[in-house]
Structure 1
C-alpha cells in the first residue's frame, strides 16, 4: 500500500490555528507554535536516530516549496548523506569563504581590538600595531586574507629583511598569526594570567610567631617540611623536591637547581640557624630527598603540608607564607627591596635593578633570613606562650 501524501492543502494550511504538528506525508510536517507562528519541518531517521530539519517559515516558504525542499532532502538521504550535516557543512564553507575575503587591515584591526587586554604592556601592543602598519599594510593591507601567500609576505618584508632582521622576523610572525587567527574562525583570546590570578590566603605578620610555636609542637616529617619551607620563604615544589645533594650544611646554603625553579634559574637560599637545625634533626639518609614521602624514593606529597596548615589555621595555604614573609620584610625591616625580592626568587622587571642584583647578595640575604627566623621564633621567649619541649 502506497504512503499517503499531500494530506494538506493551501487552504487548510492557512486555516490551521491550534498548536501542534500536522503531517503532509513523506516526512513533511507543518508546525504551529503557541503564538500561531507556522513553519515547516522535515522529519526522518538516519542510522536509527530520529532527526528533524527546519525548512523555513510559512510566510516565506509555501506548501509547494516545502514539498520540493522535502523531496530534495529525501534525495540526499537516498544518495547516502545526512541533509542536516550537509547543510551545516555548506554553511561552514560559506563562513570560511567570507572570512577569507576579509581585508588584511580589517583583520588586524579586529585582532588588536579583541586582544587589547592580553598584551604584557602598552609598549608591546604599540609595537604590534606600528610594525604591521609600517611594513605590512603598504603591500598587504588592502588584500583579502585568502590572497596572501608566502610570496606576498616576502615582498612586503624584502626591504627590511637584511637591514632590520629582528623587526622583519617579528613582523612576519605577526602577519602569520593574524592570518591563522582568521582561518581558525577568529577565536576569542585566552584569558590573561592577570585575570586568572588568585591570591593565596596569608597569615597576618603579627600572628606568625604564635603559629610557628604551634607548628614546632607538631611531630613528623610534614611539620619539619612546613617549618623549613616557611623559614626559607620557599615554594612548596621547591621544598618537597629538595635533595641532600643540594644542601651544604657547612656553609648553610641550599642551591635549588634551575629545573625546579619557577623562573628556570638556579637559586641559592641562605639557611638560618634554625633551618639548619631542622635539617640536622632529619634522618641521616643523605642520598635522597630531605623530606621523603610514604612511597620509596618519592618525596613528600604536595598535599601533606597543606593539610597540616589547614589543621592549624583553616583557609590558609602554604604559598601564603611567602606573602607573610614579604609583608614582614617590607614593613618591619630596613632591608633593600632587591634583597627581599631575590630572597623570594622573584624576577625584577626593572633591567637596571635586575643587573645590580646579579651578584647574589648572599650575605645580605643571609642576614635577612636570620632576622626572619628570629621573628618567627619570638614566641620562644614570650612569657604568655607555653611551648612544648622537643624530645
Structure 2
C-alpha cells in the first residue's frame, strides 16, 4: 500500500495514552516502509524540542497527511492547517467537542452547548467549543474514536461521521509465568497482589486516585495477606503492605501485572484504556466501573468484573469475590489474554489506520 508521509502530532513527548498510540502507530508504519514523523507540544525531557499548536500547519509538508492525536489548543492547531488539506483526528477523550473538559461526566451543560457559567470553571467554555466546531467543519477532517462509546458522543455533538478503530498494543505470544515474575520482583509466591495504575497515581482525578488508599484499606481488612501496588505518581515509598511506585517504564509495569492477581481500576471516565489492555496482555483480570468504553474491552464475568459506576460497595464486593477465588482469577486472566489478542493487537490497529489513510487519500483525489 503506497502512502505519503504521515505526520503525527500529540501533546506530550513521552507519556500519556495518546502519545503511546502515536508511537505504536509510527512503529507499525515504519515496518510497512511508510515515512512518519511525530511532533509534540510539551517536552518532558530537558533537551526535548516542541512546537506550538499554531505552528503545526507550517511544519506539515504539502505531500504529507496530518494525523492529530491531541493538543492543548484545538482551534489554534486546526486553524494552522490550510483549507483543503485532509487531516485525521483521533479523539482520545472528549475535549474536541467540549468547552474544556476531557470528560463531561454527568455535566448537563454539555447538552446546552457548554453553556456558561461552566461548573468546572473553564473560561469562555461556549466560545471555545464553538471555535473548535468551526475548525472541524472547515477542514472536513476524518474523525476517529477508539471506542463506540466516544464515537456516539462525537457524532451527537459534532454532527459528523466517526470511524471506530480500537486501540492496540503489542501482545506477547505467552506471558511470563506468575511465579517467575514474582521472583524477579521479590514478591512472596503465596501473597495476594492487587495493582492500581494510572498516569498521575493517587492524584489521577478521573481514575479515582484519591480513593485508592481507602479501597486498599477496606480490601486489606477482608484479605489480611493482601499486598498492594499503587503505580503512576511521582514518588516511591512503602507503607506496610502498600507499595507506591512512580510512573515506571512499560516493561516493569508489565512484569508487575504478570505477578499480580487483580488490577483494580475504579475509573470515573474512560475512552479505551491502554492500562486495561496491558493487564489483559498479562493474563490479569480487571475490576472496573462500567463507564465509557470500558465495557467494550471487558466482558463482565468472563475477562473481568464490571460494576455500576459510582458504586464503591459493589466495587469492593467484586474485588473481594475475585480475590477469594484463585480458579476464577486464573480462568478470567486466560480469557482476557485470548480475547485481547484477537481484538486489540497493535498490528490490527495499524492495519485499520493504514486502510483509513488510503480511503482518505482516495476521497481527496476524487
Provide TM-score, normalisation by structure 1: 0.28
More strand by share: 2
Q: Which has the higher contact order (CA 8 A, sep 6+)?
A: 2
Larger helix share, 1 or 2? 1
